[in-house]
């Protein structure tokens, strides 16, 4: 681009060509498996297992999706995850945003100590069991609250939001509001929040994806299957069954055929399940990609 | 804006602590909820680490359980499990770092010097996408694709006349699968930070280099790459600091009895000992050992880097 008027040297043409090829290969390497999952979820499971599904669905069918929607445990956990993600993000915002704003104010006297208080948490933690014991002792075990309260404030996210406020909310604005008799609380809710939609969106997305995708907390804290989030149910179907399928027993020919059919259907259901579980993220991803990236950049300025 | 900050700071420095406090007392309520939750769920557990030095019994509580000194640590290091688990963790972590770290930098450099802007945006959008796939789904996809009888990869292998391979059941493949699927999932997202930093390279450097007859490749090597050095150092230090705390979720998700010899790492072991076997003191001791090693590594790498390159984090 910068040398259009001169023309590129031969070495540069080769260099550009290599980059084009390598990036295209990377693009295909990343995109194809994702695309493959999509077409497989609509295809005849025997064709998928036989390696015939390559570019488009073969033997188009919605059986996999019917199977998923017919499985109560999956649907219930999907609803649970929606609830946990919603409640979790609300709590995250209520705790993180005010903290970030207060810490962005140079005239807040407790700024330094509170900042240090949070920076320490990035390096020292109690570890799995001591944290488990506290969660148990505070009565959160086996409730939704165990998933949403302990991580209410992520230090990294808080620092990202704080950097955003520092650079985007001019102090003059605060001083002017103060002269008009506007207190910090009113200023935050009526002026700061409406002016910082971008960072609120970034936080919703960071925390939201985190809640939606995590299974570790549920694995440790939630023992009732009724309360499982989607990822735990997915784990059961995608990961644990996979191990069972490797156990080989001696079967008659007919049993073997039936077993193969069921297995094929189960495999197909897995593809559909992957798609369904990704829907919430897939739906918002195109809209928010810019914001996600912006968040990383704000974070990196601080570093 | 800079001036006004300086001005307020000067003014506020002249006031006494109490006066300043009085002006912004309500900001305390902004930070209070976070401080309470973090104190309870982050600092209280730090206090609970002492069970690593006790023989903790749930019925007796932390205070009622007897001190045992370093017994739990001694038990761990004497057990046959200790060294395999520590080395598994180290190998997996270093391998992940060695594979993922350069890939992200190279990807960012290539994207930065890519001429087709619109195609570049498409590539970026696609390579970021796997970052948002959950660990369970990622592991599920791997198991599906690699399944010995129904997986696509083995169908291809069989079509070429070879025997199908039980990838997930063989220890030989497990680390490669873990690491390269990780690269696949995170290279795009990890490149964002470098790509963003590269937008700070002044075009004047490139113009001057072009006048001097530098090729594009030379410019990438001698202008772009050195420009990234501080960012690379910072991220390397951060990564070294967490070398032994490689994530629980994916290793646990990809474990099965056949690959446990290479897939059992400290965090999964801590989980099994502490939650499944309910040996809380032993589990906490291993966890504490892990944290201490991490802290030492972080400080060492930081000090080394400060001496060598004058870039440091702390």
Instruction: Spell out which residues of chain A touch residue B256, defining contact as CB-CB under 8 Å.
Output: 243, 246
> Is B145 in contact with A22 (Cβ distance < 8 A)?
no
> Is A130 in contact with B40 (Cβ distance < 8 A)?
no
Round to whole Å and give the CA distance between B96 and B266: 16
> Is B144 in contact with A127 (Cβ distance < 8 A)?
no
Q: Which domain holds residue A217?
A: 62-303
- Lowest mean pLDDT across A123-132, A252-261, B99-108: A252-261
Please name the residue of chain B whose CA is at the shortest distance from the CA of residue A108.
B24
Tell me the two tokens of residue B12.
Answer: 């506020």
DSSP A153: S
Confidence of residue B13 (pLDDT cuts 50, 70, 90): low
Best mutation target, A43, A119, A126, A287, to test chain B (most B CBs within 10 A)? A126
A118 part of a folded domain: yes
- CA neighbor of B144 nearest in space, from B175, B177, B176, B172: B177
pLDDT in tens, A285-299: 777 777 767 777 776
Write down the pLDDT at residue B311.
64
- The Cα diameter of chain B in Å comes to 83
Query: Beta partners for B54?
Result: B67
Q: Is B243 helix (H, G, I), strand (E, B) or coil?
A: coil
Query: Over pLDDT 90: what percentage of chain A?
Result: 50
CB pairs A-B closer than 8 Å: 299
Tell me the two tokens of residue A101.
Answer: 């704003």
H or E stretch including B29? helix B27-38
Write down the pLDDT at residue A9.
82
Round to whole Å and give the CA distance between A297 and A303: 10
Helix, strand, coil distribution of chain B in percent, nearest 5? 75, 0, 20
A54 part of a folded domain: no
Round to whole Å and give the CA distance between B312 and B303: 7
Instruction: Spell out which residues of chain B touch residue A183, defining contact as CB-CB under 8 Å.
Output: 26
Kindly tell me the burial class for residue B26, based on how many C-beta atoms sit within 10 Å of its own C-beta (0-12, 13-18, 19 or more). middle
A112 part of a folded domain: yes
Round to whole Å and give the CA distance between B302 and B313: 7
Q: Are A161 and A203 in contact (CB under 8 A)?
A: yes
Helix axes B225-241, B280-309, angle to 10 degrees: 150
> Is B20 in contact with A109 (Cβ distance < 8 A)?
yes
CATH of residue A146:
1.10.3720.10
Best mutation target, A14, A130, A175, A240, to test chain B (most B CBs within 10 A)? A130
A238 part of a folded domain: yes
Round to whole Å and give the CA distance between B8 and B105: 41
CA angle B251, B257, B263 (to 5 degrees): 30
Tell me the two tokens of residue B200.
Answer: 């700070």
> Is A138 in contact with B40 (Cβ distance < 8 A)?
yes
Instruction: Spell out which residues of chain B touch residue A114, defining contact as CB-CB under 8 Å.
Output: 31, 35
Round to whole Å and give the CA distance between A32 and A41: 14
Is the pLDDT confidence value at B120 over 90?
yes
- CA neighbor of A124 nearest in space, from B242, B77, B115, B89: B242
Give the mean model confidence (pLDDT) for residues B149-158. Answer: 84
How many whole angstroms from its chain centre is CA A262? Answer: 32
Of the candidates B27, B134, B147, which has its C-beta nearest A213's C-beta?
B134
Q: How many domains does chain A have?
A: 1
> Is B275 in contact with A281 (Cβ distance < 8 A)?
no
pLDDT in tens, A16-44: 999 999 999 999 999 999 999 999 999 88
Round to whole Å and give the CA distance between B173 and B153: 14
Instruction: Spell out which residues of chain B touch residue A212, defining contact as CB-CB under 8 Å.
Output: 134
- The neighbour count for residue B36, using CB atoms within 10 Å, is 12
Confidence of residue A268 (pLDDT cuts 50, 70, 90): confident
Give the mean model confidence (pLDDT) for residues A166-180. Answer: 87
Taking the CA of residue A201 and the nearest CA in chain B, the distance in Å comes to 16
Confidence of residue B314 (pLDDT cuts 50, 70, 90): low
> Is A296 in contact with B288 (Cβ distance < 8 A)?
no
- CA neighbor of A219 nearest in space, from A207, A208, A235: A235
> B80-134+171-309 belongs to which CATH class?
mainly alpha
Round to whole Å and give the CA distance between B274 and B29: 37
H helical segments located in chain A: 10-41, 45-49, 63-69, 72-104, 111-123, 128-137, 145-148, 155-168, 171-179, 184-187, 193-195, 197-213, 216-221, 230-234, 241-244, 253-302
Of the candidates B8, B206, B288, which has its C-beta nearest A106's C-beta?
B8
pLDDT in tens, B30-89: 999 999 999 999 999 999 999 999 999 888 888 888 999 999 999 999 999 999 999 999
Q: Is B54 helix (H, G, I), strand (E, B) or coil?
A: strand
pLDDT in tens, A43-71: 888 888 778 888 889 889 898 898 888 88
The terminus-to-terminus CA distance of chain B in angstroms comes to 28
**Predicted-complex ipTM score:** 0.85
């Amino acid at each position: 681009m910068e040398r259009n008027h001169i023309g590129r040297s031969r070495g540069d043409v080769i260099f550009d060509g290599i980059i084009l090829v390598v990036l295209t290969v990377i693009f295909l390497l990343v995109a194809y498996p994702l695309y493959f999952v999509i077409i497989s979820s609509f295809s005849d499971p025997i064709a998928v297992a036989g390696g015939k599904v390559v570019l488009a669905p073969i033997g188009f069918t919605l059986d996999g999706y019917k199977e998923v929607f017919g499985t109560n445990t999956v649907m219930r956990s999907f609803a649970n995850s929606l609830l946990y993600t919603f409640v979790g993000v609300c709590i995250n915002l209520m705790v993180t945003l005010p903290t970030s704003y207060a810490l962005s104010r140079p005239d807040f006297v407790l700024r330094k100590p509170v900042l240090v208080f949070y920076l320490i948490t990035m390096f020292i933690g109690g570890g799995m069991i001591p944290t488990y014991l506290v969660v148990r002792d505070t009565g959160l075990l086996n409730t939704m609250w165990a998933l949403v309260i302990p991580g209410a404030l992520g230090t990294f996210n808080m620092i990202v939001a704080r950097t955003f406020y520092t650079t985007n909310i001019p102090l003059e604005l605060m001083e002017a509001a103060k002269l008009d008799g506007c207190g910090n609380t009113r200023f935050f809710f009526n002026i700061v929040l409406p002016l910082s939609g971008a960072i609120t969106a970034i936080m919703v997305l960071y925390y939201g994806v985190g809640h939606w995708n995590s299974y570790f907390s549920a694995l440790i804290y939630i023992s009732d299957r009724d309360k499982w989030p989607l990822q735990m149910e997915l784990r059961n179907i995608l990961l644990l069954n996979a191990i069972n399928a490797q156990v080989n027993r001696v079967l008659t020919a007919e049993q073997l055929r039936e077993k193969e059919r069921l297995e094929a259907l189960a495999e197909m259901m897995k593809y559909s399940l992957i798609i369904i579980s990704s829907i919430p993220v897939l739906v918002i991803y195109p809209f928010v990609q810019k914001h996600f990236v912006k968040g990383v950049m704000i974070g990196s300025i601080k570093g | 804006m800079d001036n006004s900050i300086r001005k307020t700071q000067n003014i506020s420095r002249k006031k006494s602590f109490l006066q300043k406090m009085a002006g912004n007392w309500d900001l305390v309520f902004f930070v209070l909820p976070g401080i309470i939750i973090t104190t309870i769920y982050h600092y209280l557990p730090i206090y609970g680490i002492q069970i690593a030095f006790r023989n903790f019994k749930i019925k007796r509580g932390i205070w009622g359980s007897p001190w045992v000194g370093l017994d739990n640590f001694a038990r761990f290091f004497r057990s046959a499990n200790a060294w395999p688990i520590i080395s598994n963790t180290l190998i997996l972590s270093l391998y992940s770092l060695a594979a993922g770290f350069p890939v992200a930098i190279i990807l960012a450099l290539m994207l930065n010097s890519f001429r087709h802007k619109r195609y570049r945006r498409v590539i970026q959008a696609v390579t970021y996408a796997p970052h948002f796939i959950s660990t369970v789904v990622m592991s599920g996809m791997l198991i599906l694709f690699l399944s010995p009888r129904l997986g696509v990869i083995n169908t291809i292998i069989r079509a070429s006349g070879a025997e199908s391979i039980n990838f997930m059941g063989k220890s030989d493949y497990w680390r490669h699968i873990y690491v390269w699927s990780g690269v696949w999932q995170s290279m795009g997202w990890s490149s964002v930070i470098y790509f963003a930093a590269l937008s700070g390279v002044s075009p004047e450097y490139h113009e001057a280099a072009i006048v001097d007859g530098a090729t594009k490749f030379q410019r990438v090597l001698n202008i772009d790459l050195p420009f990234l050095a501080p960012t690379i150092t910072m991220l390397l230090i951060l990564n070294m600091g967490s070398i032994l705390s490689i994530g629980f979720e994916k290793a646990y998700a990809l474990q099965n009895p056949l690959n446990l010899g290479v897939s059992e790492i400290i965090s999964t072991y801590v989980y099994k000992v502490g939650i499944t076997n309910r040996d809380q003191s032993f589990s906490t001791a291993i966890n504490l050992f892990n944290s201490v090693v991490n802290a030492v590594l972080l400080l060492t790498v930081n000090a080394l880097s400060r001496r060598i390159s004058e870039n440091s984090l702390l």
